[in-house]
Structure 1
Amino acid sequence: MKTLARYLITEVVRTSLLVLAALLGLFMLFDLMNEVRDLGKGAYSLGKLFTYVVLLAPGNAYELLPISVLIGGMFSLNLLNQYSEYTVMRTGGLSLARVLGYLSIAGVFFALLTLLAGEFLAPVAERTATQLRLAAKGQVVAQDFRSGFWLRDKSSFINVREVLPDQSLHYVNVYLFDEQRRLRFYGYADRGVWQEQTRAWRLSDVYLTALDGERVNVTRLPEYMWHSVLTPDTLSVLLVAPEQMSATTLAGYIDHLRKNKQKTSRYEIALWSKLFYPLACLAMLLIALPFAQTQKRAGGVGVKLFIGIMLGLTFYFVSKLVGHLGLLYDWPPLLAATLPSLLFLTLALFLLWRQERR
Structure 2
Amino acid sequence: MKTVRRLLHGEIVTAVAFVAVGFLALFMFFDLVDELQAVAKHAAQGYQLQQALLYIALKVPEHLYQLLPLSVLIGCIFVMARLAQSSEFTILRTGGLDPLRALVTLLRLGVIFVGLTFVIGDYIAPWADRQAIQVKALYQGHLTIGQTGAWLKEKQNERHFAVNVRSFDGIAHMRNVRIHEFNEAGQLLGITTAEQADIHNGQWALQQVAQKTVGLEKSSSTLKYVSQKHQELLWPTEISADMVAAALLTPDRMRTWELFKYMRHLSSNNQNSQRYEIEFWRKVFYPLSCLVMLVLALPFAYLHFRTGQIAGHVFLGVLAGISFSLLNNVFRFVGDLQNWEPWLTSAAPSLIYSAISLAAFWWMVLRR
* Paired position in structure 2 for 1:280: 289
Query: In the superposition, relative to structure 1, how do residues 175 and 95 fare at CA in structure 2: closer, same or farther (>3 Å)?
Result: closer
Q: Normalization by structure 2: what TM-score?
A: 0.74
2:191·2:211 contact (CA, 8 Å) conserved in 1? no
The corresponding residue for 1:351 is 360
> Secondary structure of 1:7's match?
helix
1:117 alignment partner, one of 113, 117, 120? 120
Shift of 1:14: 1.3
1:290 aligns with 2:295: no
How far residue 298 of structure 1 moved from its aligned partner, in angstroms, is: 2.2
Q: Does the 8 Å CA contact 1:158/1:172 hold for their aligned counterparts?
A: no
Task: Describe the shift of the 1:278–1:139 C-alpha distance in structure 2 as closer, same or farther (beyond 3 A).
Answer: closer
Q: Specify the code of the residue in structure 2 equivalent to 1:330.
A: N
* Alignment equivalent of 2:111, drawn from 108, 112, 120: 108
Change (3 A) 1:130 1:175: closer
Q: How does 1:24-173 map to 2 (within 5 A)?
A: 24-40=24-40, 41=42, 42-139=45-142, 158-161=176-179, 173=193
Q: Deviations over 1:183-239 (max 9, x none)?
A: 999698xxxxxxxxxxxxxxxxxx9x9x9xxxxxxxxxxxxxxxxxxxxxxx87872
- Structure 2 alignment gaps of length 5 or more: 145-149, 155-162, 169-174, 181-189, 197-206, 213-224, 230-243
- How far apart in 2 are the matches of 1:88 and 1:150? 65
- Specify whether residues 244 and 282 from structure 1 end up closer, same or farther in structure 2 by C-alpha distance, changes over 3 A only: same
What is the deviation of 1:94? Answer: 1.0
Q: Shift in Å at residue 128 of structure 1?
A: 1.3
The 1-side partners of 2:361 and 2:80 are apart by 14
Q: How far 1:159 sits from its partner (Å)?
A: 2.4
Task: Find the counterpart in structure 2 of residue 257 from structure 1.
Answer: 266
Q: Which AA in structure 1 matches 2:342?
A: P
Q: What is the percentage of aligned positions where both structures have the same residue?
A: 35
The residue type equivalent to 1:58 in the other structure is P
Q: How does 1:107-256 map to 2 (within 5 A)?
A: 107-139=110-142, 158-161=176-179, 173=193, 175=195, 239-256=248-265
- 1:281-316 residue CA offsets vs partner (Å, 9 max, x unmatched): 010011111133224142212101211110110000
- What is the distance in 2 between the residues matched to 1:329 and 1:109? 35
Counterpart residue identity of residue 159, structure 1: V
Give matches, 1:319-330, under 5 Å: 319-330=328-339
Q: 1:175 to 1:130 in 2, by over 3 A?
A: closer
2:315 to 291, 306, 310: 306
Q: Secondary structure of the residue that 1:39 maps to in structure 2?
A: helix
Q: Distance in 2 between matches of 1:318 and 1:15?
A: 25
- Rounded to whole Å, the distance in 1 between the matches of 2:327 and 2:38 is 33
CA distance in 2, matches of 1:137, 1:237: 20
Q: Give the direction of change, closer, same or farther, for the CA distance of 1:140–1:43 in structure 2 (3 Å limit).
A: farther
Residues 153-201 of structure 1 show CA distances to partners (whole Å, capped at 9, x for unaligned) of xxxx622459xxxxxxx9673659xxxxxx999698xxxxxxxxxxxxx
CA contact (8 A) 2:61 2:124 kept: yes
What is the aligned partner in structure 2 of residue 12 from structure 1? Answer: 12
CA distance in structure 2 between the partners assigned to 1:345 and 1:171 by the alignment: 53
Find the aligned partners of 1:140 and 1:245 in 2 and give their Cα distance: 16
RMSD (Å), alpha carbons:
3.3
Equivalent position amino acid for 1:239 in 2:
L
The alignment partner of 1:261 has SS state of coil
Aligned length: 300
Q: Does 1:341 align with 2:330?
A: no
| CA distance in structure 1 between the partners assigned to 2:297 and 2:354 by the alignment | 11
* Residue identity matched to 2:291: L
Give me the whole-angstrom Cα distance separating, in 2, the residues matched to 1:82 and 1:297. Answer: 7
Q: Gaps spanning 5+ residues in structure 1: where?
A: 163-169, 177-182, 189-206, 212-234
In structure 1, what is the Cα distance between the partners aligned to 2:318 and 2:254? 27
TM-score, length-normalised on structure 1?
Answer: 0.76
Seen in structure 2, the aligned counterparts of structure 1 residues 139 and 335 have a Cα distance that, compared at 3 Å, is closer
1:270 equivalent among 276, 279, 293: 279
Moved over 3 A (4+): 138-141, 146-152, 183-188, 235-238
- Helix, strand or coil at the partner of 2:193: strand
